[in-house]
């Protein structure tokens, strides 16, 4: 099992007004093993009261040690990319990346910037971002709670970045599938499914069927083992 973490990400909360959101975010940082975090100009006291209760357990230490900065621009100097999450639209707020693509398209250290509970990110903060991303939700009630937004993003990135302890399958690439198709062609010839001695037409259709599926590596091994057994039995009969 690989290391389960989001070491290359840095969660940044800007101008947070509700201490519960900071406490819940500290807990999420531990849930998903996020590498870094920063509070930019927080507008509440998160070192006592309900924020401490929201964090709980080992995440309390994370909560109490969160670094603070007066400037988002200063806080992202160590990052390769800066992704701002926004629910507001406008000429300067057009999204440029989808959440499901974030992990694969942005390498290096990535800042994940979440704005205020009421006004999101200001114009100058948007300008500090290299990318903007919106979270899909019910258009009739689109605004997510701040800590819920952080949870959605980290959960999706965790799936993108890690081999899951819950058994998500490792899927095959096109290149890994090619030997299997050659093996299938050999099987088709062996059993006589060739259509005038040429299996290519049927193979094209079968290839399309396989490519539309989520073919895992263990599935590939199972199929090739089956092909080998059938070919061996047919040749013994001949």
pLDDT at position 210 over 50: yes
200 pLDDT band, cuts 50/70/90, is confident
Q: What is the CATH number of the domain that holds 137?
A: 3.40.1280.10
Q: How many domains, in total, are found in the chain?
A: 2
Over range 57-71, report the average pLDDT.
Answer: 95
Asked whether the CA dihedral 192, 194, 197, 200 is positive or negative, the reply is negative
Last residue of a domain, one of 128, 161, 194: 161
Please tell me the distance from the alpha carbon of residue 137 to that of residue 145, in angstroms, as a whole number. Answer: 12
pLDDT at position 111 over 50: yes
Burial of 108 (0-12, 13-18, 19+ CB in 10 A): exposed
Place of tokens 């290391």: 3
Last residue of a domain, one of 130, 161, 192: 161
**What's the confidence (pLDDT) of residue 89?**
55
Contact 132, 84 (CB under 8 A): yes
Q: State the DSSP code for 68.
A: E
Last residue of a domain, one of 135, 161, 187: 161
Give residue 128's domain range.
6-161
pLDDT at position 54 over 50: yes
11 pLDDT band, cuts 50/70/90, is very high
121-180 pLDDT, tens digit each? 998 999 889 999 998 888 888 788 999 999 999 999 998 887 544 455 666 777 788 899
Please tell me the distance from the alpha carbon of residue 103 to that of residue 107, in angstroms, as a whole number. Answer: 7
82-97 pLDDT, tens digit each? 999 987 555 556 788 9
In a domain, residue 1? The reply is no
The residue among 13, 11, 10, 30 whose CA lies nearest residue 21 is 13
29 pLDDT band, cuts 50/70/90, is very high
pLDDT at position 194 over 90: no
13 and 117 housed in the same domain: yes
229 and 127 housed in the same domain: no
Tell me what percent of the residues of the chain surpass a pLDDT of 70.
Answer: 89
In a domain, residue 200? The reply is yes
73 and 189 housed in the same domain: no
pLDDT at position 231 over 50: yes
Contact 25, 13 (CB under 8 A): yes
Contact 84, 102 (CB under 8 A): no
| The total number of residues written for the chain in this structure | 238
Name every residue whose Cβ is closer than 8 Å to that of residue 134 and which is 6 or more positions away in sequence. 85, 86, 87, 95
Over range 21-25, report the average pLDDT.
Answer: 97
∠ CA 98-103-107, nearest 5°, is 120
Please tell me the distance from the alpha carbon of residue 216 to that of residue 40, in angstroms, as a whole number. Answer: 43
Q: Which alpha helices (H) appear in the chain, and where do they start and end?
A: 19-31, 50-55, 59-64, 72-75, 99-105, 123-127, 146-161, 174-191, 200-211, 217-237
């Amino acid at each position: 099992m690989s290391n389960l973490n989001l070491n290359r990400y840095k969660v940044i909360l800007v101008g947070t007004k509700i201490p519960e959101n900071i406490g819940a975010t500290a807990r999420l940082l531990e849930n998903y093993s996020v590498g870094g975090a920063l509070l930019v100009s927080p507008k509440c006291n998160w070192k006592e009261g309900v924020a401490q209760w929201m964090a709980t357990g080992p995440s309390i230490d994370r909560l109490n040690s969160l670094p603070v900065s007066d400037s988002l621009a200063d806080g992202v100097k160590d990052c390769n990319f800066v992704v701002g999450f926004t629910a507001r639209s406008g000429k300067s707020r057009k999204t440029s990346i989808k959440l499901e693509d974030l992990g694969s398209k942005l390498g290096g250290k990535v800042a994940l910037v979440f704005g205020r509970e009421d006004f999101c990110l200001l114009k100058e903060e948007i300008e500090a971002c290299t990318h903007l991303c919106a979270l899909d939700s019910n258009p009739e009630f689109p605004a997510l709670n701040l800590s819920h937004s952080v949870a959605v993003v980290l959960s999706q990135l965790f799936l993108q970045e890690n081999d899951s302890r819950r058994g998500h399958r490792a899927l095959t690439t096109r290149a890994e599938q090619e030997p299997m198709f050659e093996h299938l062609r050999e099987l088709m010839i062996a059993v006589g499914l060739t259509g005038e001695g040429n299996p290519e037409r049927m193979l094209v259709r079968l290839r399309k069927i396989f490519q539309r599926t989520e073919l895992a590596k263990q599935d590939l091994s199972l199929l090739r083992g089956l092909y080998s057994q059938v070919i061996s039995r047919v040749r013994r009969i001949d």
